Structure 1
Amino acid sequence: MGDRPDQRETEIAAIRAGIAAGARVIDTAEMYGSGRAEDLVGEALAPIDRQQIYLISKVLPENASRQRMAVSLDASLRRLRTDYLDLYLYHWRGNVPLAETVAELQRLQQTGKIRSWGVSNFDIDDLKELWQLPGGDQAVANEDLYHLGSRGLDYAVLPWQREHQLPLIAYSPIAQGDAWGHHLTTNETVKAIAAQHHVSIYQVLLAWVIHQPQVLAIPQTSSVAHMTQNVAAADLTLSPAELTQLDQAFPAPTTKQPLDIL
């Protein structure tokens, strides 16, 4: 979002519609559109009470050092038109030592420019390494790709995060439709459950992701109609029988899987 000037007003309207419908978390990053997404979010939030929004952004690996992170953060804050982030995520691992990144995140938290920090695209070994570092257990979230058609996290990552009370932020929770051969929107089980509840297929996919404890879904849309449907998915409760049917159609892995990343 933010890459097409002709879509700017539509995208701003979608963000504001989501907030009007009850959404309170907005997830963005300095990488998205090389800052243009943050700028769009900043404009969309301008007339809205900042205290009502939980704002997340992310720092690129090459900027996750003691020398560069503060500069990146200040640039993100300027684009977002705010003086603090509720959550600042290390977008994915790069060449900067993890201990240095964690130390700088903690330092920035002490300045008040970020209220909390976390990580993104961390696999089980990354999380275990993080937890062994001084202050590493102060991370408040891990953001990974997770949806009904990509359940690799179910084998090790999600159980570990639950044990350590570390919430998951699930990105791409509707798998961008049928991208990468997941066939979620054409699956007969998904379609039947959607029809039973008189909701869209995408609402079923979102409801499946967030039925689990300590899992937040962050679907992206530039459409007002889709935005309000996404928020309404929080009101959809899948029955135990329906969850079993979805597990049978898209079984959890029985061995460790490579971490899916977009």
Structure 2
Amino acid sequence: MRDFPEYLGTIATDLEARLDALLPTGNAIAEAMRWGTLGGGKRLRGFLVVESAALFDVSRDLALNTAAAIECLHAYSLIHDDLPCMDDDDLRRGRPTVHRRWDEATAVLAGDALQTQAFAILSDPATHPDPSVRIALVSALAAASGQGGMVGGQAMDIAAETAGRMLDLFEIRTLQALKTGALIRFAAQSGALLGQGDSTARDALTSYADALGAAFQIRDDLLDVDGDEAAAGKALNKDAQAGKATYVSLLGVDGARQKADELIAQAIFALKPFGTRADALADAARYTISRTT
């Protein structure tokens, strides 16, 4: 039986090397980009790209550019999330956040540069020889990361916090499907785009990713309540201190765990059309609700 964290680590190592090769060097912004991207993280989104692509016989080497692109996009979002005008965090993965290591202006610009770097990577012929595939990847990541995706979810979160309003469960689901789920959905769907899979395969991966993304967020909410700050490398209990509604605050710890279990069962069921070829993706789903960071 495969040791999933170890397998995840092998892909993370390959992805780290690819990011190291793709990211710029030579000035303060480049170094801030590298600080915010390299040297840590589970690389789960990149893993989903690689493993979903493998379902369509796309090699890891070819899939790694797309995996690197989503990790650049994700890193940009974290750098900006950590800013004082957002979540105001001093630590990320046990190290000073970019705006603490440098300054706020550098953090904003490094995040901006990482966002454009993601699309530069996707548009490069090295990512896929077929330009129509590259355009599809660019379009899908733009949709997942913009107003109709991650940014829209963050805007909902900020608006609720500014108004001092507790969101209900439907609103929380909507917010997290945008803020967290949209990038996870892109990661899983990108494998079908790289492998030029049919609509049935894309729909199955979308169902998998939607359930996985919701479970991932519930686990994050649980870790914010009972996680280990040293292991997390960042401050915890911030949602409760800010008075934010989360899956845990609305469902309770036991209810949130039960919901996460149900979602993981849904995610694994969605993979049935792929048979044992999707075992690594099923393992990723199980890992999502057992992880400690």
Which structure has the highest strand share of the two?
A: 1
Is TM more than 0.5 here? no
Instruction: Calculate the TM-score normalised by the size of structure 2.
Output: 0.27
Which structure has the highest helix share of the two?
A: 2
